[in-house]
Structure 1
């Protein structure tokens, strides 16, 4: 069930998430350009309210997203996201989400039974299995319930049809 980088490289139609500006960043840049144009047209100067300190640096961690399914709606979000689409299919056939920072890879699953949230260092997905495989500090949350392995190094699976969670060892369920 785990997807390797070599397997992704051998598969035709491979797509890597492209680094660069996210939709939010492009939108913000667009709004900034419009605001600047309006300021110039108005003749006022609001630059005094902005910080132009050259010592100030803004670090932006790029996160990549892909929709895996519409029913249920599944959104995968990670620092490093690799996926494969076949032909003209709308959604990826295979995906691997991983992290190269302290943030986890995340999956948001929206169903008629409520929302599920899954996070791990790596999330593997194969369309035919209709499962997410969570590797490295996995956690699944639904409402006020959270499930995670009781020991590190265990895998978890989340079935996208039955919404069942399977752990490869003892698990801890928390209610809060």
Structure 2
């Protein structure tokens, strides 16, 4: 009788230890899933609240190798790292990516006035330096660091 009670007590204690271990593992996985879900939700929220528009682009009147592009943040979230934006430009069908370069060497882009952040309703001017501009239809795409982009098509004569 005493050995049966002792066996039952050992089995109950072992069951409690196993149940506690399983609960700990499940809770840690739930916490890991929750943090992943939260990070994904924040990223999606940032994308939904970011919106850029290009109201105007034109060839520079005094330097025919420069294209002036105005970009406006019409979204709610600011663009916090403007120099990480991607700029694509070129004739329709052969658009290429341009590197950011403050010295504005050939086939690069820079801000006319460098912003530290592009807040809601801010408009910034970008200068694209392209050595081989000729008459035709061009496209410019500005992409924010989170992937949100805006396109603009215009002609150079």
TM bucket normalised to smaller: under 0.3
> Which is bigger in relative contact order (C-alpha 8 A, separation at least 6)?
2
Superposition TM-score, scaled by structure 2 size: 0.20
TM value normalised by structure 1 = 0.18
More helix by share: 2
